[in-house]
Amino acid sequence: MVVTPRSSVFWEDSGRGSMARSDSADDYFGEESDLEEQERLVRHGEEDELDDGRTPLDRTIDRIGMGSYQWTLLSLCGLGWMADNMWIQAIAIILPRVQMHYNVPSSYIGTVSSSMFAGMMFGAVGWGTCSDLMGRITAFNATLLLTAVFGILASLSNSFATLCIALFLLGSSVGGSMPTDGTLLLEHMPKSKQYLVTALSVFFSFGAVLSAVVALLVIPKNSCLSTGAGGGTENCDQSQNMGWKYLLFTLAILTLLMFTARMVFFRLHESPRYLVHAGRPYDAIKSLEMISRFNGSDLCVELDDVRDHLHPHQDADAHAQQQTSGLDQAQLSPTDGTEYQASRPRATSRTIFDATMIQDGRTPPDVLLSRASSAESGGGQRPPLMTAYAATGETPALVDRRRASVYEQKLCWSLPRWLRKPLWAWLDRVMMVLSPEWVRTTVLVWAAWWAMSLAYTMFNVFLPTLLEKGTGEGSMAGLNTGGTPDPRAGIPKSLEQTLWDVVIFTIGGCPGAILGAWLIESPLGRRWSLAGSTFVTALFCVLFAMVQNEWAVRISTVGISLSATAMWAVLYGWTPEIFGTKVRGTACGIASALSRIGGMIAPILGGILLMIDRSFPVYLSVVVFLIAGVCVLLLREDNSREGGAEKGRVAAH
């Protein structure tokens, strides 16, 4: 047990007896000076320890380490990422089959993918904000369950419209998995192991492989066959074209099994970092101790071990000065207290937490409550009360700025209470992300997410269609014919051959996640790794549009898959590190939502361009990839600290 200087003096005094208590005042004040010097030295040592940028909560999580709890959580979060890409790839695979099933023109078939991406957009925002307001566990468990339910409904759809509606609902569920799961995992990982968040992209890649393999087993034997490059069918009705529905149903069952694994084989504890910033430090202590116990150790966590900001002494002094100024204003204000209410500092989750720490770092909650009650009954000056905004950690300036908007007040109060409260909370979070401190970083990160999704989806969605147009030496020669079949293209590929090419494409992306994890820790850093992988993806897209040999096409598709997966690995692993804990879920959720908007636009725009010239969607993807890379280069990575997640912090804000 560590004995603090002041505690040791207390015990020493208790054992001296009456003679010790009758010492001179000079000796007493001399001892006090020595104690103050000792405290100063201890405090100076603590400040030296804080130079590495880790907060006390970071240190506590590092003491727990990378145990069985973290590895299990990594695997279960990976299932959410696997489900996300599994469904995205499935929609790309079934697109030609759905077009045959419902006789949909090429300019409108992209609506299928757009419906799902539209749902993903709302799901990313909704589940991201839900994880910030209600905790990470709710979103973690609900997303996969709802995805399985809506997947089954999509497989039972009997019209093009009902299919689009079902896929929208499915997207609204699965779209929340990646931002919420990545945030949850990051907040449980030690600083030195946070780069393993990029390992989630391994599951993301295997999701596409799983979808392609299931399609290869299910679709060819239960689908209408194409009669030529135009994609028409002969003597085939809907009952013979049920393979795509069997694929959706099979993937829904697999998603349900993933949800079952989360519920049955693992008990998730709420994120300690979320609990601290929600003003629940004692719940964070309990969560940390249970995680430590799961890992096989018995770590004792105290209140001062869960502080999640640096320089506690400066914060305490500032808090005390704010309270003093608030009390002075209250004494000078009229008896109704209106001046006091307008001028006093508002409490936040951090100041409430600091006040608890100042009173007694090791005092149980019931004792603190009893002290507060006795202070109130004594008639003394009461401290500022905790406001309704304490749980969100808002600054007074932010609250005042939002209250100043009459339009927002009228808009929010015209809505029902059940909708007004979450909408108001979500707007508060968005305002925090777009504050002057974060606005430049936020805009660049969101723009990169949107552009990368638009470019990659425009290529990925129509890849099966492009591969199915020809074979042999001119497999991709039809790209440059403006929709007219190239004489060199030979006979059309069979459906099974096309799906094998898709399987090769998806397998090529599996090493990309490992490559991305290595790039993050390489001397290139986060920024150059992300920008470089984006530019390489654009280069392989150019090759894909230019080459004609079948094996050259396969090599270019593998190159695209490899570099794009590395790009997504770095992007998903780096983004949660950029933003603070209070806004991380909302910022990542909106970033994911913007990527879904890009994915929603891509199929519709690509379908229109495909009718003009089959090369146009590919070349537009190249241009947008280049724009995304430029946005990444405009971010300024902070390299002041070496290694770990701190090396990837962005200094743009």
* Residue-wise pLDDT tens digits, 133-164: 788 888 888 899 999 999 999 999 999 999 99
| Least trusted range by pLDDT, from 227-231, 447-451, 609-613 | 227-231
Q: 60-273+436-648: which CATH topology?
A: Growth Hormone; Chain: A; (1.20.1250)
Instruction: For residue 650, list its beta bridge partners.
Output: 637
The residues, ordered by sequence, that sit 6+ positions from 211 with a Cβ below 8 Å of its Cβ are 85, 86, 87, 89, 90, 93, 247, 251, 506
Q: What percent of the chain has pLDDT over 90?
A: 20
The reply to whether the predicted model has a pTM over 0.85 is: no
Q: What is the mean pLDDT of residues 577-605?
A: 81
* Residue-wise pLDDT tens digits, 439-493: 888 889 999 999 999 999 999 888 888 887 643 333 344 444 444 444 434 455 6
> Pick from 98, 139, 140: which is nearest to 115 by CA?
98
The residues, ordered by sequence, that sit 6+ positions from 238 with a Cβ below 8 Å of its Cβ are 101
Tokens of 585: 């879920």
Residue 444 burial class via C-beta count within 10 angstroms: exposed 0-12, middle 13-18, buried 19 and up: buried
Q: Where are the domains of the chain?
A: 5-52, 60-273+436-648
> Pick from 427, 353, 344, 349: which is nearest to 392 by CA?
349
On whether the CB atoms of residues 475 and 623 are closer than 8 A, the answer is no
* Residue-wise pLDDT tens digits, 261-300: 888 888 888 888 888 877 888 888 888 888 888 888 887 8
Q: How confident is the model at residue 412 (pLDDT cuts 50, 70, 90)?
A: low
Residue 637: phi and psi, rounded to 5, are -80, 135
Please tell me the distance from the alpha carbon of residue 141 to that of residue 181, in angstroms, as a whole number: 10
Residue 25 half-sphere exposure toward CB, CA atoms < 13 A:
0
Please tell me the distance from the alpha carbon of residue 276 to that of residue 581, in angstroms, as a whole number: 10
